[in-house]
Amino acid sequence: MAILLILLAIVLVLAVLPQMWVRRAIERHAGERADFPGSGAEFARHVLDGMKLHHVKVEETKLGDHYDPDAKAVRLLPQHFKGRSLAAVVIAAHEVGHAMQDATGYAPLAARTRIAR
């Protein structure tokens, strides 16, 4: 029983600590930057167009930042959609990366999509 609790604690630590670290990093870099030429949405559109992924939409959502492979849409929270912060641009780039994976038929993304359904 003690070994099971220790293993459970290790799994929780490995799952929770990285997520906490990412959240803190995003919060630390969420401040608006006057030197950024565009918002997270504008950056996402720019990169998608550069990759010839004109059919992928960039939309604002309240349901969390994500890429929807069925709708072919990068969806960003309002602060990342409109924001001109390092966090907004990095999160937009991350979600655009999923659109690129989808466009190239990246097997792990397809598997993750099947599992999520």
Q: Catalytic positions, please?
A: 95
Class of residue 30 by CB neighbours under 10 A (exposed 0-12, middle 13-18, buried 19+) = middle
Instruction: List all residues 6 or more positions away from 29 whose beta carbon is below 8 Å from its beta carbon.
Output: 85, 86, 87, 90
Q: How far apart are CA 57 and CA 49, in angstroms?
A: 10
Q: What is the rounded CA–CA span in Å between residue 32 and residue 22? A: 18
